[in-house]
Structure 1
Amino acid sequence: MYVTHPDAGRILTSIDKANHSEVSMRQATSGFEGTGRSFTHTGKEAMVSYKPTNGVDWIVASVLPTDEVFHSAVQLRWESTLLALVLTSLLTPLACFIFYRALKPLRELGQKMIAATKDSSEQWRPSSFYSNDELGRLGRVFDSLMLERGRVVTELKQSHLVLQESEQRTRTITDSMPAVIGYIDLDHRYRFCNSAYKRFHGLQPEDMLGKTITEVFGDGVYNAFADCIEQALSGQRVSFERMVEQDGSVMCMQYEYVPDFDAYGVVRGFYSMGTDITAYKRAEQDLSSQQQLLRAVTDTLPALVTFVDKTGRIKFANRTHETWMRRPMHAIEGNLIGDLLGAQEMEIHQKHFTCALGGKVATFGFERQEADRIRHYQATYTPQFSAENDIIGVTCLVHDVTEAKLLERQLNVMARFDSLTGLPNRIQIKECISRAIDDNRDAQSLAAVMYLDLDSFKAINDTLGHQAGDLVLKEFGRRLAGCVRRSDTVGRLAGDEFVVILERLSNDSESTLVAEKILRAMEKPISINGVDRIVTTSIGIEMVSTEVNPSVETLLKAADEALYRSKQLGRNRYSFRSAAASV
């Protein structure tokens, strides 16, 4: 209960029975001690303090209105506020002036920045003075950046000028080229077209820029080449031919689509280049016709006609190869010549092939074993030159000369052998005498030349006929061959005149032994028309020593003179040119 209270009606009354109870009072009765905020019985805000007394269960409460407690503080607050207002009104202009002065360099820098955004020239004029603070350093950095910007702008303008000049040169070059050149982007739109579009397609290049392929040429053309376009945009190089009609004539155009990649390898479009290949196609057709004509002509030739390139690969072969080589054409053309020839045969051909590649015509003969006979061939390798005079290969012409070789041999036999007796004739006799002279000189030995004829041979022809005379000549030649060594030579000069050549003799007596053997051989009768008749011979001998080097004609003349001596001495004998040596 209240013990004392400004309100006398509350004294000795219970706190709970009061008309109202303060929260702070209930807290004090609950043991609270200290100061808190509450209200007076008149409802004013007040500061209330509670403290229990010692010895008596009383609580001393002190209530003091707030306005009385804080009157001095409130007075001081109002005075401070007034002073602050006065100071603010006085210092604000000063602060503004100071800030204005301090921010002047920043404003100037800002103005320079604004001016720089409007000025596109590369010439920048830096400040002549910088303050020694952050703004000064900022100004220096800005001016250095602007100077760098000016340099970059100058370089960009120069690069732009170079780019313009390069584009102009590119335009000039592409416009002067006899080809349709364009650039198409990923949207299938033309970004570049040269003036050839007007010449080839009747289109103005400037009207094509920005338009799609469909807008320029229509759906039909686009659909025809849509696959090629997609391949180019996928990164593949595409080549195709297209027929184009112009002024009533048809041209053959070859187009190349070349992808354009960026720095990361991504396709960003493709270049299109079309070239008029009508003349090339016509030349190709003409060349094909000429090749067909060439093959038709060469296929009928009885010879091998071949063109071999520098690597030794056969590029052309006529049909005769199939017959001669017994191979199909596909196994000949396109193959290396070494694959068709044996190693030994290739060695012969390679030498002459290399000679032809050196610019010289090579002609040679060779043989091949075919079945049961040897065939002879004559080859001519001729170098082939390009329009630039570079050797591009070799043309080979090979003839089968087997029959000619056989005929040549027959003619050689006929030219060097006597047709009646089969013995060497005058031509071969002279060759043998010349060879004997050289061989015996090298061997330091003697040789002998015998000149022989039949005694009274004219009487046989006149009485028995030429057929009987031929029989006697043949038999005489046979008996002479039987009287000499295999290394010696027996030949017929003409009529009944024969020659015997003896080589590598040790002395003169060896020749006399042969002469005597011949005389004895002729003692045997010869059957002529069923009648045996002895036919004798006379012999003249001329020795060949190593001390002299006589001519063939000189030796024959000397031997003939020795024969004449035998005739004078009575025939059927032999004589040397010296009378003392005659028998």
Structure 2
Amino acid sequence: MASVVIVLVLAATVLVAMLALEIAERDMKGVIGDQQYASISSAAAFIDDRLDAKKQLMHALAADLPLAARTDAHQVQAYLEARAGLRTEFLNLTAFASDGRLIASLRAIPSGASITGAGTQYFEATVDSKKGIVSAPFQSRLLKVPVMLVTAPLFDDAGKLLMVLAGTIALQDSFFLRQVDRLKPGKSGYAYVMTTDGILVGHPDKARLMQHIHQRPGTNKATDMALAGYEGWTEALNKDGAEGIYSYKRLREAEWILAARYPTDEAFAPMAEMRQQAVLVGAAVALLAGLLAWLLIHRMLAPLEALRRNVSSIRRDGADIALLQGGTQDEIGELGSAFYDLMAEREQALARTRASEQRARIIADSVPALIGFVNRDQCYEFANAHYQDMLGIDPKSMIGQSVRATLGERNYGRIADKLAAAMRGEHLHFEAQFEARGRDVHYTFDYTPALADDTGSGGVYILVTDISERKTAELILAASEKRLQLITDNLPVLISYIDSVHHFQFANATFDKWFGVAPGSLVGRALADVFGEAVYQHARPYLETCFGGQTVTFEVKMVVAGSQKILATTYIPDLQGDASVAGVYALTHDMTHVKEVEEKLIQLARIDSLTGIANRRRFVEALYQASERARRHGGAMALAYLDIDHFKNINDTHGHAVGDAVLKEFARRLLGNVRATDTVARLSGDEFVIIFEDLNSEQEVLPLAAKIAMAIRMPFDAAGVSLAVTASIGIALFSGAAQTHEELLANADSALYRAKHNGRDGVAMHGR
């Protein structure tokens, strides 16, 4: 029976402890996985932004290369060297002819080296797609290091490919890949980058760069899932058989996967230690309880054994209890019998009382807690055996002693007020620390008054339970939460948790840095109260979508620290086991700088770098806008096509520096002699166009063109050389909705050639 008790108590204790730890471990695992995935998602967005910025930079670099220079390798080399400042963005800038020959490089090419792009993935993919790409990583033949390229194709006016510009990014030294190393989770975790084909682009072990992730023998389920397209976090065994938490996020701008691994052993080391302690303590408690039960049962059965022996003796000897009276049937005998009966009843009552007290003592000594009773003088009248086990005090020596003398001044001072209140009739439950066997131990106290009358308590029943293990677990959990809070508070992003009624339940310290609002004051406040009604109404549809179970990202403009910022916010649903959404994790990044760079690149792509006026792209946009206005309002519009007479002779005679100076002055004079509503643009070389809008009549354009021609005839001072420059001007009138932009430009071009045919330095109008 004792063994059964031991087994049952052991099983129940271990089961409850293991179940509690399993639930805590599962919840912690979810928090760690979600946080790790959110961290690499933020890093992936950063890398995407950096790659997109480099693509835009290469596109602008290609657009700025003059058409005339695109067939001259020396001019291309000079063009690249003039932009040596781009080495902060690229390890090298190179140019390849349409047949793949390397014709220019910002870095010196080794003597005798023969380098071609023909047959390479980056060159062939750019030629086939006719647009810039981000290449797969490869070993550079020129630089002898692992690199990737950002390309941009260049074409002539007919759309024929002339060359491919390429910007080289060294994988080991790139700024955005160095940021990946900082994502290292824990002490032994790490982050890495691989292509969607499994080639390692960034890894703490530099020897593995450019190797396949599966080059090492073995399998990893998480890696296979990521290569198959999975995004998120999961738990899996690595090729060494060690468990880890893996997170994966694919990039938008490159066929890359950003990944992180956090060893499960490290993440849950405190939980493992707690699990071991729980098993050991549970086993010890169960063993002790079983042993005590066996001893107590043995003691309880001892009186029965004595009774059995007495009854057996009486039955065996044939004696009758009436013989004990030893008297005759007279008054003395009857008195003896009556006295015998009275004493027998008294002994029976005493036996029943002793048995009841013994059972109560057994029960009290079996409970793993301190059980006692103190009278209204605060002296002990009862104490169970666990006072010896837990406090090292013999319970027998406590009887009749005061609580103060028994516990000592320090311990008594911690419960004196509570004990006095219980003596007044209050039921109390509280926690306190006691010094036990030389160390402070956490206990819970339950004081139940034994009411004697209306004036107060006749004493207090005491139940004290050791909760040190629970407190230790709480402290470990609090330390873990503190570490998580420290991490989130030092990330340059807003991190918060929003409940189902759109109120904050958590916010990191970045709220204080950006908005001057203490994170603690945000808990329970509505989004509209913190960010304003306008921002809340903008974010509300995305919140509702996220509460539907979808991750969403959006942008909003807000004032942060006194300046206008563009913030990108990602909402991630907190999915529960039943697929419901308990709340939303919100991560907000400052995208202002990225957007400013984007806007600058867009503007640079529409301005002619030599003259500072609109380029062909901006001209096409302006022509479309002007024609639409003319169609809507019915106003007259004309297009002038201008060409500098004998410009080639100027270049051949005086050099390109003088030619460039002539182009700049020509553009300046055009701008100075048109109306505010007109648009001046340089198409290529010495070809310019002017869009005349809001003309009162079709005849108004000729005086405007004549004015421009006269302004051009004034002597040019180009780079110290005085020149007489003239221009031929062809004009075409916009005929309305039926006419395309190509037809209008062709008509102006036809009129230009007629002006040249007529002797140059003049104006010709199409159709006249």
Q: CA deviation at 1:452?
A: 1.6
Deviates more, 1:220-229 or 1:563-572: 220-229
SS of structure 2 residue aligned to 1:376? strand
User: CA shift at 1:407, angstroms?
Assistant: 3.1
Residue 566 of structure 1 pairs with residue 566 of structure 2: no
TM-score of the pair, normalised by structure 2: 0.41
**1:276-291 map, 5 Å:** 278=469, 281-282=472-473, 284-291=475-482
CA distance in 2, matches of 1:181, 1:278: 17
The offset of 1:577, in angstroms, is 4.0
Give the TM-score taking structure 1 as reference length: 0.52
CA 1:276–1:445 in 2, change beyond 3 Å: closer, same or farther?
A: same
Can you list the C-alpha shifts for 1:444-470, whole angstroms capped at 9, x where unaligned?
223222222211111111111111111
568, 574, 587: which one pairs with 1:385? 574
Shift in CA distance, 540/315, structure 1 to aligned 2, threshold 3 Å: same
In structure 1, runs of 5+ residues without a counterpart are 1-177, 191-196
How large is the Cα RMSD of the aligned pairs? Answer: 5.2
Amino acid paired to 1:459? N
Q: Deviations over 1:284-322 (max 9, x none)?
A: 4244245335425642x444445566675574333x555
Checking the alignment, whether the CA contact within 8 Å between 2:728 and 2:762 is kept in structure 1 is: yes
Structure-2 change in CA distance of 1:278 and 1:504 (3 Å): farther
* Aligned counterpart, 1:350: 536
Match of 1:494 in 2: 684
Aligned counterparts of 1:576 and 1:491: Cα–Cα separation in 2 = 19
Tell me: CA distance 1:509–1:369, structure 2 relative to 1, closer, same or farther (3 Å).
farther
Alpha-carbon distance in 1 for matches of 2:476, 2:488: 18
Going from structure 1 to structure 2, the CA distance change for 1:336 and 1:490 (only over 3 Å counts) comes to same
- Comparing 566-575 with 273-282, which one deviates more in the overlay? 273-282
Structure 1 pair 356/471, CA: closer, same or farther in 2 (3 Å)? same
The separation in 2 between residues aligned to 1:277 and 1:407, in whole angstroms, is: 58
Match of 1:461 among 651, 670, 677: 651
Q: In 1, distance between residues paired with 2:748 and 2:426?
A: 99
User: Is the 1:423–1:491 Cα contact (8 Å) retained in structure 2?
Assistant: yes
> Structure 1 residues 553, 282: closer, same or farther in 2, change over 3 A?
farther
Judged with a 3 Å threshold, the aligned counterparts in structure 2 of structure 1 residues 259 and 471 are, in CA distance, closer, same or farther, namely: farther
Tell me which of the two structures has the higher relative contact order, counting C-alpha pairs closer than 8 angstroms and 6 or more residues apart. Answer: 2
Cα distance per residue 1:539-562 (max 9 Å; x no partner): 233322333152x44433443333
* SS of corresponding position for 1:411: helix
Corresponding residue of 1:512? 702
- Displacement of 1:369 after TM fit? 7.9
Give the corresponding residue for 1:420: 610
Rounded Cα–Cα distance in structure 1 between residues aligned with 2:475 and 2:444: 14
Q: Give the Cα–Cα distance (whole angstroms) in 1 for the partners of residues 676 and 524 of structure 2.
A: 45
Q: Deviations over 1:18-50 (max 9, x none)?
A: xxxxxxxxxxxxxxxxxxxxxxxxxxxxxxxxx
Q: 1:494 to 1:423 in 2, by over 3 A?
A: same
Q: How does 1:3-18 map to 2 (within 5 A)?
A: none
Query: Mapping of 1:146-161 within 5 angstroms?
Result: none
Query: Given the superposition, is the C-alpha separation of residues 437 and 287 from structure 1 closer, same or farther in structure 2, using an over 3 Å criterion?
Result: farther
Q: Is the 8 A contact 2:731 2:763 kept in 1?
A: yes
Alignment pair present for 1:526 and 2:712: no
Contact persistence 2:433–2:440 (CA under 8 A): no
Distance between the aligned counterparts of 1:540 and 1:491, measured in 2?
A: 15
Contact between 2:636 and 2:696, CA under 8 Å: does it hold in 1? Answer: yes
Q: In structure 1, which of residues 217, 220, 238 is the aligned counterpart of residue 407 of structure 2?
A: 220
Matches of 2:406 and 2:494 in 1, distance apart?
Answer: 56
Would the alpha carbon gap of residues 543 and 344 (structure 1) be closer, same or farther in structure 2, given more than 3 Å must change?
A: farther
CA separation of 1:544/1:239 partners in 2, compared to 1, >3 Å: closer, same or farther?
farther
Find the partner of 2:735 among 542, 545, 562.
545
Aligned pairs, number:
384
Q: Distance in 1 between matches of 2:487 and 2:636?
A: 65
Return the match for 2:426 from 215, 235, 239: 235
* Cα deviations by residue, 1:241-296 (Å, 9 ceiling, x for unpaired): 558999xx99865456688999x999897796858573564254244245335425
Amino acid at match of 1:332: A
- Contact residue 751 and residue 764 of structure 2 kept, 8 A: yes
Q: Which residue is 1:292 aligned to?
A: 483
SS at match of 1:424: coil
Which residue is 1:364 aligned to? 555
Q: Deviations over 1:550-577 (max 9, x none)?
A: 2x44433443333233333332233344
Structure 1 residue 356: Cα displacement: 5.6
Partner Cα separation in structure 1 for residue 628 and residue 667 of structure 2: 26
In 2, are the aligned partners of 1:357 and 1:394 still within 8 Å (CA)? Answer: no
Contact 1:352–1:362 (8 Å) recurs in 2: no
What is the deviation of 1:220? 3.3
Which residue number corresponds to residue 598 of structure 2?
408
SS at match of 2:760: coil
Task: Provide the secondary structure at the position in 1 that maps to 2:658.
Answer: helix
1:8-407 aligned within 5 A: 219-220=406-407, 223=412, 225=415, 227-232=417-422, 234-235=425-426, 237-241=428-432, 254=444, 274=465, 278=469, 281-282=472-473, 284-292=475-483, 294-296=485-487, 298-299=489-490, 301-306=491-496, 312=503, 315-318=506-509, 324-325=514-515, 327=516, 332-336=518-522, 346-352=532-538, 354-355=540-541, 357-358=543-544, 359=546, 361-368=552-559, 374-383=563-572, 385=574, 389-392=580-583, 394-399=585-590, 401-407=591-597
Of 732, 744, 749, the residue aligned with 1:555 is 744
C-alpha deviation, 1:498, in angstroms: 1.2
Give the Cα separation in 2 of the matches to 1:500 and 1:568.
21
Q: Counterpart amino acid of 1:427? A: R
Structure 1 stretch displaced more, 307-316 or 415-424: 307-316
SS of 2:690's equivalent? Answer: strand
Partner of 2:259: none
CA distance in 2, matches of 1:445, 1:282: 81
Structure of larger gyration radius: 1
Residue 256 of structure 1 contacts residue 273 of structure 1 at CA under 8 Å; is this kept in 2? yes
Letter in 2 for 1:568: H
Give the whole-Å Cα distance in 2 for the aligned partners of 1:570 and 1:484.
Answer: 24
Structure 2, unpaired ranges of 5+: 1-366
Residues 1:333 and 1:184: Cα distance change in structure 2 (over 3 Å):
farther
In structure 2, how many angstroms separate the alpha carbons of the residues matched to 1:304 and 1:566?
Answer: 64
When residues 344 and 297 of structure 1 are mapped into structure 2, their CA distance, relative to the original with a 3 A threshold, is: closer
Shift of 1:528: 2.9
1:342/1:290 Cα in 2 relative to 1: closer, same or farther (>3 Å)? Answer: closer
**How high is the sequence identity, in percent, across the aligned residues?**
28
| d(CA) in 1 for partners of 2:630, 2:468 | 78
For the residue of structure 1 that corresponds to 2:519, the secondary structure is coil
